Amino acid sequence: MDQTPFPEIPHRHEAFADGLLLDCGIRIAPLAIAYRTYGTLNAARTNAVLVCHALTGDQYVAEPHPLTGKPAWWGTLVGPGKPVDTDRYFVICSNVLGGCMGSTGPRSERTPGGSDAWGIEFPPITVQDMVRAQKKLVDSLQITRLFAVVGGSMGGMQVLAWASMFPDAVFAAVPVATAPYHSAQNIAFHEVGRQAIFADPDFHDGFYASHGVIPARGLAVARMTAHITYLSEAALTRKFGRRLQGGNAKTPVLFGERFAVESYLEHQGSSFVRRFDANSYLCITRAMDFFDLAADHGGSLATAFRGSKTRFLLVSFSSDWLFPTAESRAMARALNQAAANVSFVEIVSDKGHDAFLLDEPDFHRTVAGFLTGAAEAAGLS
Amino acid sequence: MIEPAPVRFVAKNMRVDLELIAGMISPGSRVLDIGCGDGILIDHLFRTRHCDARGIEIDMAEVTRAVAHGLPVMQGDADTDLSHYPDDAFDYVVLSRTLQAVERPREVLRQMLRIGTRAIVSFPNFGHWSLRWQLLSTGRMPMTKAWSRMWYETPNIHPCTIRDFFDLCDREGYRVEHWLAADEAGRRAPWRRAPLLANLFGEQGLFLLRHDQRAHANRSETTDPAR
């Protein structure tokens, strides 16, 4: 399968000459944030919804992807007449800081107009840095308060960071299939992926660009590992079982006859390397690993949300073992402790972590109802 | 005014005393409804009394229905989740027809009066004459509209009578600010000043409680549940 990276294309973006001071102490300037918007901002500028994407997502939340041509990654949730209704809300989605779809990241030039990209030397970033970059974008659109911030997985971490860092700028928060910190198990899976990238001879210690190659094999293996964590055993069994690809030979050779699940993962890995930069992957997985909201607030998650007026909807999925329901429940309890307004639902699904991106009618009904109720409370007609 | 819903769990059939409970709640209050079902009381309080009303419900299908109606409801268990709220977070904490179904009714009441200034509690009265008569005449566990499940599968593991409840309030130092007995349809029964008669003829009891002397020093410490 072709693993040639897609050519880089221009993305709509906002540039900030003053840049951004990162948690690590480095100021990165200028800062570019690539973004898309859908729907119309009302005159009072009160109907904006920010959608935060997950690890390998991007700003093309509600339209076909310009590189892959694949359908909108959250088209089930965001669009005209959908739960995040673009006929009603002004939806903003930006590529995260550290990403590779037009926002400042490892592929960006170190100095404006230079030919030297950051690559592996891009400064370490945090989820909070991503949120500060988004805040600059939201400010530049002259929006003082977002009606809602919505996101799943790493997007959900950004939602939590938004609600704790800028409580007055978030009327409603919808963190989905997420957690207030990355667990040891999650970090472990990320590390396997990173080690696969490091082990690829084409990685060249991160300076693969100057060799005119990409660590395709390593990045593909990283994606394959991660993809397993996005699915449940039930979903894998239902989709593939022990089915063999290409016939049912009674005496399969050691590596000749392939299980259907293997070629599925192979395909996931190969198509991923065409659109995603390895250094971006390293940078963003690290930001997720560092995320620990309670640790940033003296070990108390409740402190992070003390006095919050934001209305929260927490959603988990019953078969998600990457971000299990127990973590959403702990968050709900911490929000109770902070006397915040919180709704919490576990959606029954056998589709694993991926369920948040798939057709889950109960999930969509829940988000639609929550936003409608919140819109009423916010006085949005 | 409202059709009684079919009794699935006794605890869920809360439509009948909705008006009576709402009548005890001051407009604009902060309310937590424990065992809120699909959130009909919360919705009612929000729309007619402008309350900041929230709910906890154990049945996920009901929670999903409530949230899909835009109501702030979280999945949780009265027996385990109340301890995570701070002291005095609410003006009223409501437990409608759920007390008899929780594991530790006394602890739930304590938590209610820790996190709220007042507690509103309703429960089906096990002292009603028809239950007494059935037990006396047949020698078997009574079956009525409110007590409609066989003893081996009923969720109502802690039945009590109106007299029992008065007694518990007395022991725990809860002041009964208001009480009444009602029939199944939520109509107020006319035994306001006669607990013994209410205990015989009231199908359910409804109480508004307040801590007599709130022992602030002895409050249980809440711990951070997140880690």
Any CB–CB contact under 8 A between A341 and chain B? Answer: yes
Asked if residue A139 belongs to a known ligand binding site, the reply is no
Ranges under pLDDT 70 in chain B:
1-16, 185-187, 189-193, 213-227
Kindly state whether A378 is in contact with chain B, defined as any CB-CB distance less than 8 angstroms. Answer: no
> pLDDT tier at A287 (50, 70, 90 boundaries)?
very high
Greater model confidence, A4 or A53? A53
Q: Is A244 on the interface with B (CB under 8 A)?
A: no
pLDDT digits (tens, 9 = 90+) for B85-96: 999 999 999 999
Element (H, E) at A191: helix A184-199
Rounded CA-CA distance A329/B61 in Å is: 16
CB contact under 8 A, B69 and A369: yes
Contacts of A310 in chain B (CB under 8 A): none
pLDDT at position B163 is 96
Sign of CA dihedral A295, A298, A299, A302: negative
* DSSP three-state, residue A117: strand
* Cα of A312 to nearest chain B Cα, Å: 8
Secondary structure tally for chain A: helices H, strands E: 10, 14
Q: Phi-psi region for residue A223, left (φ > 0), alpha (ψ -120 to 50) or beta?
A: alpha
CB spacing of A373 vs B70 below 8 angstroms:
yes
| Among B residues 63-82, those touching chain A with beta carbons less than 8 Å apart | 63-64, 67-76, 81
Q: What are the DSSP calls for A268-336, one per residue?
A: HHHHHHHH--HHHHHHHHHHHHH-BTTGGGTT-HHHHTTT---EEEEEEETT-SSS-HHHHHHHHHHHH
Complex confidence, ipTM: 0.86
* Residue numbers of A annotated as active site: 153, 320, 353
pLDDT of residue A49: 98
Domains of chain A and CATH, by start: 35-94+145-181+292-378 (3.40.50.1820), 186-286 (1.10.1740.110)
Q: Which of B64, B67, B89 sits opposite A339 (nearest CB)?
A: B89
Tell whether A223 is in a known binding site.
yes
| Closest Cα in chain B to A337 | B85
Report the alpha-carbon distance of residue A354 to residue A54 in Å, rounded: 11
Rounded Cα–Cα distance for residues B15 and B39 (Å): 10
What pLDDT is attached to residue A251? 61
Contact state of B64 with A337 under an 8 Å Cβ cutoff: no
**Unique residue bearing structure tokens 């997502």:** A57
**Would you state the pLDDT for residue B211?**
84
Structure tokens at A224: 């394959």
% of residues, chain A, pLDDT over 70: 97
Name the burial class of residue A216, with classes exposed (0-12), middle (13-18) and buried (19+) by CB atoms within 10 angstroms of its CB.
buried
Q: Are B31 and B46 in contact (CB under 8 A)?
A: no
pLDDT tens sequence across A130-142:
999 999 999 999 9
pLDDT given at position B1: 38
Average pLDDT score, chain A? 95
Closest to B91 in 3D by CA, of B56, B116, B122, B54: B116
Structural domains of chain B ordered from first start = 10-211 (3.40.50.150)
Q: Does A68 touch chain B (CB under 8 A)?
A: no
B contacts of A374 (beta carbons < 8 Å): 70
The burial class, CB within 10 Å (0-12 / 13-18 / 19+), for B155 is middle
How many helices, marked H, and strands, marked E, lie in chain B? 8, 7
Interface contact A343-B60, CB threshold 8 A:
no
